[in-house]
Structure 1
Amino acid sequence: MRQRQIFGTVFTLEAIVAGGVFLVILGVLAWVLARRRSEVSDRPERPRLEAFYVGALAAFAVFLVAWTAWQNHREHHTADPAPLRVDVTGFQWCWTFGYPQSPAHRSVTGTCKGKDIPTLVVPTGRTVQLRLTSRDVIHSLWVPDLRYKMDAFPHHVNTFTLTLDRAGRWRGRCAEFCGQRHSTMDFWIKAVPPREYDRWAHGGSAAV
């Protein structure tokens, strides 16, 4: 999946940079301590090392911010001028998925009690725009296996796009503590072939 690949690339690079900076800092610290113990001078040293250190950290910071922003743009960029829209509403303690573009005006909800878990149905190979909001408190839509996560706020709409390139079903959950039954606030996201999705969007039941 595109999102998961981008997330893995960014995480790997940032982990390598962070580990390298940490090792360099340890090495410089050890060198400075050893040098100052072996030298006695009445003159204050010129702050060349400190200036180099600050400059190097600033360069790494600028690189990481620019790199992450670029990858974030790649993640959410879509060439599809008319993505499929799904309205996602979190509430205590479950989810509602509305399909305003569906000919049958499909809407999926549940109670998140026992097996009554709603399913977010999307077609494979097509850009889907999720519009998240909340009916009461802050919730967070999270699909761990796909690396998707975004908060849902009351009186506000957050949007992001996703494209799933293969059929499958993945478990999602709320990642923001929202009250007594937060731990049961799960859902499924299911990607199906376009023809199967079209049948479902017109009122069929094959996709769920």
Structure 2
Amino acid sequence: MSQSGRVRPARRRAATAAVLLLGTVLVLGGCSAEQRDEWSRLALPEPATEETPLIGNLWIGAWIAAFAVGVLVWGLIIWAVIAYRRRGDELPKQTRFNIPIEFLYTVAPLFVLVPLFYFTADHQEQLTDTSQEPDLVVGVIGQQWSWTFNYLDEEVHEIGTINDRPTLYLPVGQTVRFELESPDVIHSFWVPAFYMKMDVIPGHPNSFQVTPDREGSYAGRCAELCGAYHQSMLFNVEVVSEQEYQDHVDGLREAGQEGIIEPPIRGAYDDEVLSEENTGGDHE
């Protein structure tokens, strides 16, 4: 092959790489500030509690470790492709093992797994620590297929149904402890903006606490496949000022929603079935 013939493919590859790089720059440059922030969080939503940095940093650290492993593995693959590419009709020298490479494969994962395990255990211990006295306690009951919220300090409640999504009100800047219970199957209490979720297990109460630090409306859901109407186990979270929180609690009291609901309670779907049966309605 002539010298010019070898140069042309190299130029084409360089031009292709330049076009891809330019396209990436243009795409990123066209993103909004909110989208760029989401990229910096690696797709995590905007945080809403004081505890989110613990999970956010662990999430980003895990991705960095994954990229490091990927770069190492791909680097070795590319090196092997180039160094041992076919030259003529003779095969490269065959060996049973390579001590340096096998040592690298043994030691390299330790540099990834040990720090990841350490920080995971450390952050998990901090996230599940409930030794600090909270400002308020909310009892959360996950039932098929909705949620019940008991404001234990105020002794009022809100019961959701399969067709009526409940709303959880929390005061900004105050530490809230969630006490989780289930009367039927395993659910999972998850508010994505809190970066925290925990299983709601029958006969095994769980608890964790967070401190919301940003007012706003957030979505909550069950993160555990819990039955036929799992997709209906949605709820809203409103992080509001202390006065708005108190006004909501007073509104529940005025609406007659006083007292604490104790599990087991009948599932929202079952209540509707019984209502239809008592009124002669048909239900498949």
TM-score range, shorter chain: 0.7 to 0.9
Structure 1's 46 and 16: CA in aligned 2 closer, same or farther, altered over 3 A? Answer: closer
Indicate whether 1:165 and 2:213 are aligned: yes
Is 1:107 paired with 2:157? yes
Find the aligned partners of 1:154 and 1:59 in 2 and give their Cα distance.
Answer: 39
Shift of the 79–176 alpha-carbon distance from structure 1 to 2, 3 Å rule, reads closer
Shift of 1:78: 6.5
Contact 2:130 2:208 in 1 (8 A): no
Match of 2:251 among 194, 204, 207: 204
What is the distance in 1 between the residues matched to 2:94 and 2:134? 70
TM score, norm. by length of structure 1: 0.82
Q: Conserved in 1, the CA contact under 8 Å of 2:134 and 2:177? A: no
Q: 1:41 to 1:98 in 2, by over 3 A?
A: closer
Once the two structures are overlaid, the 10-residue window that deviates more, 33-42 or 141-150, is 33-42
Residue of structure 1 equivalent to 2:197? 149
Would the aligned equivalents of 2:187 and 2:200 in 1 still touch at CA under 8 Å?
yes
Tell me the CA shift for residue 61 of structure 1.
0.4
Residue 71 of structure 1: aligned partner:
123
Q: Percent of aligned pairs with the same residue? A: 35
Q: Which has the larger radius of gyration?
A: 2
Look up the equivalent residue of 2:145 and give its one-letter code. W
Query: Secondary structure at the residue paired with 1:170?
Result: strand
Which one-letter code corresponds to 1:40 in the other structure?
Answer: K
* Most deviating of 16-25 and 75-84: 75-84
TM-score (norm 2): 0.62
**Matching residue's letter, 1:110:** G
Q: CA deviation at 1:28?
A: 2.2
Distance 1:197 1:130, change over 3 A: same
Greater displacement, 122-131 / 78-87? 78-87
- Aligned match of 2:29: none
* Distance (Å, rounded) in 2 between the aligned partners of 1:176 and 1:79: 27
Corresponding residue number in structure 2 for 1:118: 166
Tell me the amino acid that sits aligned with residue 159 of structure 1: S
Show the counterpart of 1:31.
79
Residue 97 (structure 2) pairs with residue 97 (structure 1):
no
The aligned residue for residue 57 of structure 2 is: 9
User: Does structure 2 retain, via aligned residues, the 8 Å contact 1:78–1:127?
Assistant: no
Q: Give 1:18 shift.
A: 0.4
Code of the residue aligned with 2:105 in structure 1: it is Y
Question: 1:76 touches 1:162 (CA, 8 Å); kept in 2?
Answer: no
- Give deviations 1:178-198, integer Å, cap 9, x for gaps: 222211111111222123323
2-side partners of 1:178 and 1:46: how far apart? 50
Instruction: State how many pairs are aligned.
Output: 200
What's the RMSD between the two structures over aligned residues?
A: 2.7
Unaligned runs of 5+ residues in structure 2 are 1-47, 86-90, 254-284
Which has the larger share of strand? 1
1:40 to 2:87 alignment: no
Q: Post-superposition shift, 1:132?
A: 1.1
